[in-house]
Amino acid sequence: MQIEAVRGDIVEQTLDVVVNAADRRLLGGGGVDGAIHRAAGPRLLDECRRLRRDVLPDGLGLGQAVAMPGFDLPARWVVAVRGPNRLRGERDPADLHSCAVQAVRVARGLGADTLALPLVGAGVFGWSPEESARALVAGVRAGAGLELVRFVLASAAALEATREALAARDA
């Protein structure tokens, strides 16, 4: 499995799966979640509402993942993961790790070969880029089975933190 880190916009990725850093409700929001919902179009929100009604009445569990079509995105699928919100007391890095493991597992179940992943938990959920990158890189490696996982990062700090996490095991 090839793992890489690039600076860019996750909604422009032409990989099989784009991972969405969602909250429990799955109803869109800010940051990566809002960008993915805007780019995928209104059918993504409709699908999220259907999932909440029929499959996840209590919402998406911490560290869990669920798949849905990519709709207007270049990616075939969106896999939503619920990362821990450090600002609300969810401080276990194992939950970030689980997000990556579950995203890879769900992607494999879809028959996907490639996946784009943001730094789940960093930003509005209060995790530092370094903490998020370490946990997510370890989770991607633990959930191996795809040809390519691309961390797509919006800032230079996130890119540097992810490259350092990737190099730590390679050294």
What is the per-residue pLDDT for 50? 97
Residues belonging to the active site: 33
- Residues 69, 81: Cα–Cα separation, whole Å: 14
**What is the number of other CB atoms lying within 10 angstroms of the CB of residue 156?**
10
Domain carrying residue 96: 2-170
Please give the mean pLDDT across all residues of the chain.
95
Q: What is the pTM of this model?
A: 0.95
Residue type, 19: V
Question: Average pLDDT, stretch 24-52?
Answer: 94
What is the per-residue pLDDT for 37? 96
What's the number of domains the chain is made of?
A: 1
| CATH number (domain holding residue 73) | 3.40.220.10
